[in-house]
């Protein structure tokens, strides 16, 4: 398959201000040299604890935030260098679905208006055509078209997320970045929304980046998964490989906490020591070394690069580096 999106050493730093004059005293490295690719038609899962930089990555890809460094290629074109015209087109091609449909939908607009608005902004279709599109969109996401005159507060959480998804679909995007789209929903509703997203993906040849802290949700929907820790990519692997033989000690620990249906398959729970350090003050060397059960000397001084260790399998850990392998394994 072809790559739709190529992310190369993406960085997003936020200034930290302090003191009387609110001078910049440091930077939070929210996203630090993150690289991955997303193939046409796949779902790429981005997982990690809250604050690991996955949402910031998503927003930076969409150019909702300006990257500090690095490159984002969408269909081979550098997103940072697009002309205004091309950027406008990009704003249609890439859409975002947010965690909290309550917060992302304007409460004073009816569902019909909410769905029509993006098409209006982008000058798509005539008036009557748009009204017809609104009905089609509602139908597509499983909402009664008779509800077009209602307001967001009249809907349940699951229905509101359907509205959010329909709104993203209105511009016929190629890529949808969904940031914790089911985290605010009851478990029973979660699978309905995930199934809907899968149906829509097939129907409209969509590519997804699915951001979640919840490995069991990502397991349901993603083909390949990137695991982030403290703004860095720790591991990228196809789903099956990641869930059966995780390479990075952090992935291992995360997975050991995921409930499995068959208790005999349950791995031993790995309890990590300490808290995640602040991204404003990340540790030297491997960002995970303070909590890593497998830490060794080299980890404290040298930051591991993301290395390929198998087909489609990448890991940033010195244990897999030939240089330390000869010494450690
Ligand atoms: Fe652990 Fe070292 Fe690997 Fe980091 S590089 S994950 S500290 S073993
Ligand atoms: Mg987040």
If phi > 0 it is left, if psi is from -120 to 50 it is alpha, else beta; for residue 231 that is left
295 lines ligand 1 (CB under 6 A): yes
CA distance 321 to 304: 8
289 lines ligand 1 (CB under 6 A): yes
Structural domains of the chain, ranges and CATH numbers in brackets:
3-328 (3.40.50.300)
Give which of 53, 52, 68 is closest to 11, Cα–Cα.
Answer: 68
Distance 267 CA to ligand 2 centre (A): 27
Q: Which ipTM score applies to this complex?
A: 0.95
304 lines ligand 1 (CB under 6 A): yes
299 lines ligand 1 (CB under 6 A): yes
Is the separation of the CB atoms in 15 and 72 below 8 Å? no
Residue with tokens 């995007």, as numbered in its chain:
173
For residue 250, give the ligand 1 atom closest to its CA.
6
- Is residue 292 classed exposed, middle or buried when 0-12, 13-18 and 19+ CB atoms within 10 A define those classes? buried
| 29: number of Cβ within 10 Å | 21
- The dihedral over CA atoms of 53, 58, 59, 62, expressed in degrees to the nearest 10, equals 150
Q: pTM (2 decimals)? A: 0.93
For residue 318, give the ligand 1 atom closest to its CA.
5
Helices 157-169 and 187-204 cross at an angle (nearest 10°) of: 20
For residue 298, give the ligand 1 atom closest to its CA.
2
CA dihedral over 47, 50, 52, 53, signed as positive or negative: positive
- The pLDDT tens digits along the chain (329 residues) read 689 999 999 999 999 888 888 898 888 999 999 999 999 999 999 999 988 999 999 999 998 899 999 999 999 999 888 888 888 888 899 999 998 777 878 999 999 999 999 999 999 899 999 999 999 999 999 999 999 999 999 999 999 999 999 999 999 999 999 999 999 899 999 999 999 999 999 999 999 999 999 999 999 999 999 999 999 999 999 999 999 999 999 999 999 888 776 666 667 788 888 888 888 888 999 999 999 999 999 999 999 999 999 999 999 999 998 766 554 43
């Amino acid at each position: 398959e072809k790559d739709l999106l190529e992310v190369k050493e993406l960085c997003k730093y936020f200034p930290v201000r302090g003191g009387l004059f609110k001078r910049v005293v440091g930077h939070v490295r929210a996203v630090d040299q993150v690289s991955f690719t997303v193939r046409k038609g796949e779902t790429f899962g981005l997982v990690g604890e809250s604050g690991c930089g996955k949402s910031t990555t998503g927003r930076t890809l969409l150019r909702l935030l300006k990257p500090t460094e690095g490159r984002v290629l969408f269909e081979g074109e550098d997103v940072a260098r697009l002309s205004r015209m091309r950027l406008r087109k990009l704003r249609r091609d890439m859409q975002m679905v947010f965690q909290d449909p309550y917060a992302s939908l304007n409460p004073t607009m009816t569902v019909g208006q909410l769905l029509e608005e993006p098409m209006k902004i982008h000058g798509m279709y005539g008036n009557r055509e748009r009204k017809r599109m609104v009905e089609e969109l509602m139908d597509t996401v499983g909402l009664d078209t008779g509800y077009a005159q209602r307001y967001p507060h009249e809907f349940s959480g699951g229905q509101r997320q359907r509205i959010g998804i329909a709104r993203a679909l209105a511009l016929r995007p190629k890529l949808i970045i969904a940031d914790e789209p089911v985290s605010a929903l009851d478990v029973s509703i979660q699978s309905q929304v995930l199934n809907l997203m899968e149906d829509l993906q097939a129907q409209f040849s969509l590519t997804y980046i699915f951001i979640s802290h919840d490995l069991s949700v990502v397991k349901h929907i993603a083909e390949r998964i990137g695991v982030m820790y403290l703004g860095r990519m720790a591991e990228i692997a196809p789903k099956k490989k990641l869930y059966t033989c995780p390479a990075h000690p952090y992935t291992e620990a995360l997975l050991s906490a995921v409930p499995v249906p068959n208790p005999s398959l349950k791995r031993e729970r790995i309890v990590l020591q300490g808290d995640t350090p602040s991204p404003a003050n990340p540790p030297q060397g491997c960002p995970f070394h303070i909590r890593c059960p497998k830490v060794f000397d080299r980890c404290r001084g040298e930051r591991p690069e993301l290395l390929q260790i198998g087909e489609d399998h990448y890991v940033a850990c010195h244990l897999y580096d030939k240089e330390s392998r000869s010494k450690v394994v």
